[in-house]
Amino acid sequence: MREDSTRVLIADDDRVTAAILGKTLRRWGLEVVEANNGLDAWDLLQAPDRPALAIVDWMMPGLDGLELCRRIRQQESLAALHLILLTARDDRGDIIAGLDAGADDYIIKPFDLEELRARVRAGLRIVSLQQRLAQQVRELQSARDELARLAGTDMLTELHSRRRWFELAASEFARCQRYRRPFSVLTADLDYFKQVNDRYGHAAGDAVLKAFAQVLRLQCRGTDAPGRLGGEEFAILLPETSTRVASDVAQRIVNACRALTIETAAGAVQITCSMGVASVVLPGDTIDLLLQRADEALYRAKHNGRDRLEVEQIAPATATIRAAS
């Protein structure tokens, strides 16, 4: 819902007073809506284009002004509504009671039109300031959300940043361990990437990194989380994923990378990647140990000719522990 700062609600069962108020406010360029009892006034305040200021008479049938003020202040969406209580009661105790009920201002009948105008203007200034403040808060929240997104995003590839990837890894790893679910990690490294930079330039190297990031997005599943750890090093989280399925994902990435041709200003570039696969299989595993084993598999892939994947190797003694667990 939004509040219209040019609309004013008049709630008064005295037709003469309401007519004078309405005519005066309209002459001042304000749009006026009227209610002759508290219940109708309450209904008008629930409208999508509800007024931003209300002039409410104390004595009304159905729901008097004091009770209407209390009800308004109990509804969070009406917190910014500026309330002026209109009444013939001029006793100090009545004024205090009206303000305590939720009124922002108090006008005593018979009222002076210039005083009324000054109080309405003051109320609308407050409403305008509140609306601007609310807009600034929304803009700040949006900016904060964008900063948080950028902090968690690698600016070049738009994959998860290193920091964000490790945050996700820690969270997903803990969850899978808690519920004894499978969990896998892939590491990837572009083969001979330094030669790409040396031969074609860093702009071409950036284009290659972005193209590979797109390969990861296309080949990974919706539940996977690819990230760039730095340079040409990438990692992918695969929650709820066995070694066999993780290997299938890695093979798709290797195949797609091999088939990739990146057109750059310096010429067409073709690349390959090497990948390592590791899964949570050991008692006392941590995400760092898992990543270390995936890296070791990745180094074997490079040693064995690149453009391929390798799966972690578990020592015989460790395999016995795994079988028993």
**What is d(CA 188, CA 299) in angstroms, rounded to the nearest whole number?**
10
Yes or no: say if 43 and 20 are a contact pair by the CB < 8 Å rule. no
Burial of 201 from C-beta contacts in 10 A (0-12 / 13-18 / 19+): middle
How distant, in Å, are the alpha carbons of 52, 260, 280, 315, 320 from that of 325?
Answer: 66, 42, 12, 15, 9
Strands 183-190 and 225-230: unpaired
- Annotated catalytic residue 232: yes
Give, in degrees to the nearest 5, the angle at Cα 183 between 181 and 186. Answer: 170
Residue 62: how many CB atoms within 10 A of its CB? 15
Catalytic residue (choose from 31, 139, 146, 232): 232
Yes or no: say if 276 and 264 are a contact pair by the CB < 8 Å rule. no
- Identify which of 299, 298, 293 has the alpha carbon closest to the alpha carbon of residue 314: 293
Instruction: Just list the catalytic residues.
Output: 232
